[in-house]
Chains A and B, each alone.
Chain A
């Protein structure tokens, strides 16, 4: 139910990769950018190994950070939408749909998916305190605090929504208005309790680890693989 959807978003990444430095976490996202950029200067034959490699790397990352199925679900939806949009554009153009155009659209959609996987993995790897730190050095400290509290509230609210849903479901009629009322009023009640806590203890805040760690080198693997493929392409040409 609601909690099951919210949980992976709030929980972020699990496992070994969580121990990366903030620089390593950003590098994950950056290392997938060249894959998408290749679309504009490589031909279709060259793009096929690039796309397959990027996709495999992305899926490996998703598996490593856990909850891969749940994270992949919305990403696949984005892939279907971009594929459909691409096909629509092709169909509406004068050229008409053929195998080459279909391959072209599929490769572009898949490369977009690869980049999005990089973004999702990076965001999942970043801890809330790191996001808050980044926002604070950007002069958006209040936004960072709001983000922490919003996610905390979201987690609590999803459990409350599940409970409210169960009450109405047990009666036989789930009225959305009552669910929304419960979400809002109970949320206000929870916020007051949270405000009391914060007024008393404050929100812990410290500078995240900046120093590079050996683990960060994992973030370079997609980039190294990409450079290898690029070198092979140049050599073969």
Chain B
């Protein structure tokens, strides 16, 4: 049982982000916290875990798990009671090899590695692999299994669905139901709540630093998507892949892919590991196909926007410098005034002398797109643009792409986002099976 009362948190001498927040979860109860980007969800996780001081923060209030008061308790002591599932589940694996990490956890907690795998619903095929070779869904289920092995009473999940495809979401939901049956309380902080809403006992809105329980779920949107195959014209088009094969190490991720796109907006959808990102790399020309041809009608500069935009945001110390450097690399002229004007028009309150790494995830992506608009690349390639973004920012991103006349290729598993992009060629990809189909994604609000 988790009881939190009068919890306050802030960073440095800034304003209080959590303002006397209270919540309670009974044994086996599942609570869902919803709130916009920047509403304080991550701060809540850090405050509950007692690690907010590591990022210059301060938290005060009462946190009790099964009547044990946690304020003043060392983080290591807390971790035996409250398990935190981080947004990036790979962080739960300190050792790069999965088997080594699991073996150490198993020995520490006097269980077998197989018991951990069973809890995660995975076979021993994952053993012997690196953390980077597992899918997000597999890593997440293993990380949860490790928490259960530690005997935690409460699990806090920080945006657990951010990187998952539909299949992985369903497996996670099944695992959540299993945890609930064990009597472990769960607090989920999530944007894409419609996938878990059927498994939660209470929904809490985080607003103005406080949580309020929603008495009715009627205000929450639930969506379903239908993917229909549409006829595909393989002739012509500015993007053409003919019998493309590609392999990593010894296994093929793409087997004989054929497709042709004529719309200026191309979207690849499909499950995790279906080869969407590999397609982007082939189109960019940073890897070559093992067999077949990739024909793209483009010239430099293009602009690739990776899933983790922080790799770009960390290239310079200020937003201004970043824009200037990217413009130089692209061989374009750049004016800071233009950037400021565009950001103002979007009502983005970004100080261009600030460190780009200090922006919110949504702001970073919008900034990247704004710079793309000004740099006028011949082609923009975006990998998972909505990962970790609230629906408001996802919508803004989609609108941005719809209104721009950029030629764009997007790889995403976010069907909501795919359905928002107008006049696009959408391809459903299952690369390992050599399957690709031109489709139409329709959204139905229930």
Report A's interface with B, CB cutoff 8 A: 1, 3, 7, 10-12, 14, 18, 127-129, 148-149, 151-152, 155-156, 159-160, 163-175, 178, 181-182, 184-186, 189, 192-206
- B303→A171 contact, CB < 8 A: yes
Determine the distance from Cα of A163 to Cα of B384 in the docked complex, in whole angstroms: 13
Known: A159-B132, A171-B326, A182-B311. A127 touches B100 (CB 8 A): yes
Interface contact A178-B316, CB-CB below 8 Å: yes
From A67, which residue of chain B is reached at the shortest CB distance?
B249
| Chain B contacts to A: CB under 8 angstroms | 46, 49-51, 54-55, 75-76, 78-79, 84, 86, 88, 90-97, 100-101, 103-105, 107-108, 128, 130-132, 281, 284-286, 300-308, 310-312, 314-316, 325-326, 328-331, 357, 377, 381
> Which of the listed residues A11, A165, A204 has the most CB atoms from chain B within 10 Å of its own CB?
A204
Determine the chain A residues whose CB is within 8 A of the CB of B326 once the complex forms. 171
**Residues of A close to B302: CB separation below 8 A:** 170-172
Pick the contact of B49: A182, A193, A200 (CB < 8 A). Answer: A200
A-B contact pairs, 26 of them (CB 8 A): A7-B132, A11-B97, A127-B100, A148-B94, A152-B93, A152-B94, A155-B130, A164-B312, A166-B286, A166-B306, A170-B284, A170-B303, A170-B304, A173-B329, A178-B329, A182-B315, A189-B314, A192-B55, A193-B88, A196-B46, A196-B54, A196-B55, A197-B94, A200-B50, A200-B75, A205-B104
Residues of chain B lying within 8 A (CB to CB) of residue A193: 86, 88, 91
Query: Is the beta-carbon distance between B314 and A186 smaller than 8 angstroms?
Result: yes
CA–CA, A199 and B75, complex, Å: 6
Chain B residues in 8 Å Cβ range of A197 = 86, 91-92, 94
Majority secondary structure, A binding face? helix
Q: Which of A171, A186, A192 contacts B311 (CB 8 A)?
A: A186
Kindly list chain A residues whose C-beta atoms are within 8 Å of the C-beta of B304. Answer: 166-167, 169-170
Docked Cα-Cα span, A194 to B131, in Å, equals 14
Residues of A with C-beta under 8 A to B84: 200
Are A196's CB and B51's CB within 8 A? Answer: yes
Contacts of A172 in B (CB 8 A): 300-302, 329-331
Distance A165 CA – B100 CA, assembled complex (angstroms):
31
